[in-house]
Structure 1
Amino acid sequence: VILAIAAVSLNLILGYGRMISFGHAAYLGIGAYAVGIPAYYEIYNGFIHIGIAVVVSAAFAFLTGLVCLRTRGVNFIMITMAFSMMVFFAFVSIEEYGGDDGLVIEVRSEFGRWVNLENDTVLYYVCFVSLLGILYLIRRIVHSRFGMVIQGARGNEGRMQSLGFDTFRYRLVCYVIAGALCGYAGALLGNFTSFISPEMMDWTRSGELIFMVVLGGTSSLFGPVLGAGLFILLEEILSGFWLYWQLIFGIFLILVVLFAKGGIDSWLGRRPER
């Protein structure tokens, strides 16, 4: 469910904005550390954790977006990955928080007695409700005037600019929203694993998120959710049979791209959300 939230947030820029980011996992890591670092100093207030995760992720997305969004294609991909690796190595070098070995979260975020995240069932429902809320939010965004401009810029940015829209600002806001939502997912992930490490923000995790989006369908609201679920299912099954299970994933993705261009969601006959 948590990875589905991250994949849905990525699809906002990848599917609807055609911004292929190989650095989206950085926000997962930032969100997770927003839980782990305050907990290290015995600050367990969940509202503080979530606030830090969302605000810092949004700020990082804004600052990096000012640079990344001035590029296109391969350059955009490489710059987003470079920024992600900068954050990765920054946390690797901070020995106080475990460095490369990571940091154990002794106490999960506290939201009062009615929401006890120490109970795994409660944590699951919090994640599930969060997913539903974020899906609703993104649906509203996609069908709003803002969303139409983003999708228009995806198809023909020059035409949107000629109509008077500042596409750079629209794309930047979209980029920041996606980063903030993924940071929120990272805060949930930190609580779920009770352990954080720089590995959470490695570029390979960003690749996995892209895999989920493409597998489920980039032009669909629910596609990334299906992709995330199928990814986790196949990972659990295949990793128990073969050491090089990622190879099968690669072949499967090629088949999806060739024979189900809209992803699993399109193959199942659902209409794309445009």
Structure 2
Amino acid sequence: MTITSERGGIAGALREWRERRGVSQLDLAVRAGTTQRHVSFIESGRSTPGRTMVIRLAESLEMPLRERNVLLLAAGYAPAYPEARLDAPELEPVRTALEGVLRGHHPYPAVIVDRHGDLVSANDAFWMLTEGVASHLLAPPVNIPRLLLDPQGMAPRIINLDVWAWHVIDHIRQEAARNPDDRLETLVNDLMRLVPDRPRQPGPDHLGFAVPLRLRFGDGELRLLTTLTHFGTAVDVTVAELRMEAFLPADATTASALAELGQPVPGGAPRKRHQDP
């Protein structure tokens, strides 16, 4: 979903984003270095802001780069932020950096996804976790939340599925609420139909600061914590929408098991239970 001009061009779009962020006209004016009167005139359609002011207002509202371009178009200006394909030559340094981060995270699993949770790249350690997953869930585009929570995916091996699934769903729902997107809203609805009912209280597995992923693996169990990383200073739409989801061991047993799985087998290749699709 893109907030456009339900109430008319830049006026309606700015008002909707301000209200979505829960920011008053005065607060927005202070953040953007202008006056409340000017913001009020823009939202009422009595004033058309300059290109620089549109960018400042969008930055002050922490709008995604994609939506900042939409706001510029609504005001009659050309987009300010490029959107290159990830395989474009100009993004080669980004690709190199991302692949380096994935390799450096080994033997712990890690993936890079786009704004919809679709897989961009993964390290070998992640593919080792996908044993037994239905082939259609591994056909591009691979959606990581769906891969994790689908009954034909990794869900049957998630011991605390009732708690962890809602941790994932709530995160996606919050992102969809903060930055409207039809695909994310559809994904939330689809995932809600796949998982058990939300537990009334956190179980004993809740660590207080994070919800661990408890995953059956072979004859044992892996306990993993997840972290999210993104480009905080990106000026390209594609790059700004990428994030890395890394799985870290929540205990020494898991760390030892992942280290053993990551050891090379004869011939020099890492142990790999699934081929990257």
* Structure ranking higher on relative contact order (CA contacts 8 Å, 6+ apart): 1
Q: Max radius of gyration: which structure?
A: 2
**TM-score above 0.5:** no
TM range (shorter): under 0.3
